């Protein structure tokens, strides 16, 4: 299969332009194709191949070069070095309201934005009903100028256009996070259908939930370089671990007898918030939350323990249904007893999530590193009962 996008050793420099002299020099350098030394490298030697049907996320901190990379692939930016080969129709939602004119109505903007993607006038007219239906905006709203739209409405308009274009490659940059919950769901369902019908996705997102739900692979950028690339879950975990470390929240002298878990990540609206989560001295992970949060049939808790290298040590599932549906309206507490005495000294990660019936992530409960202190002459993660006997 020919790849949809191929990047070979692509680098991008941005000029440090402050004075008129810099700009004039920039002009001369560009004209003579000589190297401009007054620059800042934002992407450094990135190579990447995207096959048709692939879905990839780009993660990293702010300023890591994620958006620049997307812009390069979308053809909005030109690389300083290296080559980009791109086949097929690329539709990119790089920012909110991309290509929209604030003074024009929603309808007019849809028409002119579609033409920017090379859709003919007749084409637009036949696509319009679908676009409008997907956006969920009513006629009065569509006849208002786009400047009166909320950011959510702009996202609706933009994404609806993308759905109608049926691109070979869809690029989105943090746009899913703007719409309301029902529209986000609609978009995700659409992207899933799009992917299953052979579409290709490249997205930047800070939502682990979206990435793990939509992407097979992920690339982690840091200061313009690829730090890790591969399976979406593994890369996200590694990224997550590092960002926790950077905030100094973990790994520093946490005793395994009193693992302090801070506020859990509870990023889904189905349940509002977790009000208490802690592990007591006897290694019980205790989570309690108010009664009005409903756990649906078919949901389950999943607990996993990972070693330092990202290797799964243990995965335990618990059906939420049996345990919690009895007392739906009362505050309930979940206790899980964990004995880490079989773990060898070292660093580990515990993560606990709630999954729905299709294995979609409902909520991140816990994602924490911890340390088992001590010394051991054995290597690995687990202590296995053994005896030495010479005969």
Partner 1 sequence: MSRGQLQVQYTLFQNLLNRQIREQYLSSLGGLLWVLLLPMMLLAVYSFVFVEILKVKELPGFDATGFIPYLAVAFWPWFMFSDSLSKGCQSITSNRELIGKIALPRHILVFSDVSASFVLHLAGYLVILLLLQISGTTIHWVMLPVVLCLLLILFVFTAALALFVSATQVFIRDLAHMLTALLMLLFFTTPILYTLEQIPDQYRQWFELNPLHHVMTAIRECLLTGQWPQLSTMLIMTATAVLLLVAGWWYFNRLSTRFEDFL
Q: Which stretch binds partner 1 (CB under 8 A): 22-30, 205-213, 290-298, 355-363?
A: 22-30
Applying CB under 8 A, does 125 fall inside the site for partner 1?
no
The single residue among 52, 82, 98, 360 that binds partner 1, judged by CB under 8 A, is: 98
**Helices and strands (DSSP H and E) totals, the chain:** 10, 16
Sequence-distant (6+) residues with CB within 8 A of 54 are 4, 200, 201, 216, 217
The strand pairing partners of 172, in sequence order, are: 93, 203
* SS3 state at 56: strand
> Residue 138 corresponds to which tokens in the numbers above?
């009513």
**Shortest Cβ distance from residue 88 to partner 1 (Å)?**
12
Query: What does the alpha-carbon distance between residue 271 and residue 264 come to, in Å, rounded to a whole number?
Result: 13
**Shortest Cβ distance from residue 7 to partner 1 (Å)?**
15
The single residue among 77, 146, 219, 279 that binds partner 1, judged by CB under 8 A, is: 77
Applying CB under 8 A, does 105 fall inside the site for partner 1?
no
Nearest Cα residue to 374 out of 342, 352, 330, 328: 342
Q: Which helix (H) or strand (E) holds 6?
A: strand 5-15
> Residue 175 corresponds to which tokens in the numbers above?
């746009």
**Shortest Cβ distance from residue 201 to partner 1 (Å)?**
18
Sequence-distant (6+) residues with CB within 8 A of 128 are 107, 110, 111
The single residue among 44, 61, 81, 95 that binds partner 1, judged by CB under 8 A, is: 95
The single residue among 1, 20, 138, 379 that binds partner 1, judged by CB under 8 A, is: 20
Q: Which stretch binds partner 1 (CB under 8 A): 93-101, 175-183, 264-272, 352-360?
A: 93-101
The single residue among 6, 8, 105, 115 that binds partner 1, judged by CB under 8 A, is: 115
Applying CB under 8 A, does 161 fall inside the site for partner 1?
no
Applying CB under 8 A, does 145 fall inside the site for partner 1?
no
Ramachandran category for residue 279: left, alpha or beta (phi over 0 → left; psi -120 to 50 → alpha): beta
Q: Which stretch binds partner 1 (CB under 8 A): 14-22, 223-231, 250-258, 363-371?
A: 14-22
With b for 16 or more beta-carbon neighbours within 10 A and e for fewer, the 324-352 pattern comes to: beeeeeeebebeeebeeeebbebbbbbbb
Q: Which stretch binds partner 1 (CB under 8 A): 73-81, 270-278, 282-290, 334-342?
A: 73-81
Residues near partner 1 (CB under 8 A), total:
34
Instruction: Give the strands of the sheet with 5-15, arranged side by side.
Output: 39-50, 5-15, 81-86
> Residue 90 corresponds to which tokens in the numbers above?
């690329």
The single residue among 26, 52, 145, 360 that binds partner 1, judged by CB under 8 A, is: 26
The single residue among 4, 7, 60, 71 that binds partner 1, judged by CB under 8 A, is: 71
Query: What does the alpha-carbon distance between residue 366 and residue 368 come to, in Å, rounded to a whole number?
Result: 6
Which sign, positive or negative, has the C-alpha torsion 62, 63, 66, 67?
Answer: positive
Applying CB under 8 A, does 344 fall inside the site for partner 1?
no
Applying CB under 8 A, does 99 fall inside the site for partner 1?
yes
**Shortest Cβ distance from residue 323 to partner 1 (Å)?**
49
Applying CB under 8 A, does 31 fall inside the site for partner 1?
yes
Q: Which residues bind to partner 1, rule: CB under 8 A? A: 13-15, 17, 20, 23-24, 26-27, 30-31, 33, 71, 74-78, 90, 92, 94-95, 98-99, 101, 112-113, 115-121
């Amino acid at each position: 299969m020919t790849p949809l996008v191929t990047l070979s050793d692509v680098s991008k420099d941005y000029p440090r332009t402050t004075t008129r002299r810099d700009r004039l020099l920039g002009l001369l350098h560009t004209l003579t194709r000589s190297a401009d030394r007054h620059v800042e490298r934002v992407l450094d030697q990135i190579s990447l191949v995207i096959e048709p049907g692939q879905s990839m996320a780009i993660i990293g901190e702010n300023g890591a070069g994620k958006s620049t990379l997307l812009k390069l692939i979308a053809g909005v930016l030109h690389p300083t070095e290296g080559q980009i080969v791109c086949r097929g129709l690329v539709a990119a939602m790089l920012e909110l309201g991309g290509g929209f004119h604030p003074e024009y109505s929603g309808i007019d903007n849809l028409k002119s934005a579609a033409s920017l993607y090379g859709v003919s006038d007749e084409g637009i007219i036949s696509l319009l009903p679908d676009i409008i239906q997907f956006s969920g905006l009513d006629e009065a709203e569509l006849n208002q100028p786009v400047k009166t739209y909320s950011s959510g409405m702009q996202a609706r308009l933009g994404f609806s256009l993308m759905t109608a274009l049926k691109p070979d490659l869809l690029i989105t940059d943090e746009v899913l996070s703007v719409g309301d919950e029902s529209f986000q769901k609609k978009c995700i369902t659409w992207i899933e259908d799009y992917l299953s019908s052979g579409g290709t996705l490249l997205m930047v997102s800070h939502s682990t939930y979206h990435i793990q739900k939509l992407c097979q692979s992920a690339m982690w950028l840091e200061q313009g370089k690829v730090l890790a690339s591969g399976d979406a879950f593994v890369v996200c975990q590694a990224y997550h671990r590092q960002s926790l470390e950077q905030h100094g929240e973990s790994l520093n002298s946490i005793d395994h007898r009193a693992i302090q878990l801070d506020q859990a990540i509870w990023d889904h609206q189905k349940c509002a918030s977790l009000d208490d989560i802690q592990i007591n001295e006897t290694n019980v992970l205790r989570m309690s939350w108010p009664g009005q949060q409903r756990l649906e049939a078919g949901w389950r808790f999943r607990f996993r323990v990972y070693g330092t290298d990202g290797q799964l040590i243990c995965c335990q599932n618990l059906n939420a249904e049996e345990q919690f549906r009895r007392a739906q309206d009362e505050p309930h507490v979940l206790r899980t007893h964990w004995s880490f005495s079989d773990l060898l000294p070292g660093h580990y990660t515990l993560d606990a999530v709630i999954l729905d019936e299709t294995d979609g992530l409902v909520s991140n409960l816990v994602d924490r590193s911890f340390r088992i202190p001590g010394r051991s002459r054995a290597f690995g993660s687990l202590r296995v009962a053994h005896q030495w006997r010479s005969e």
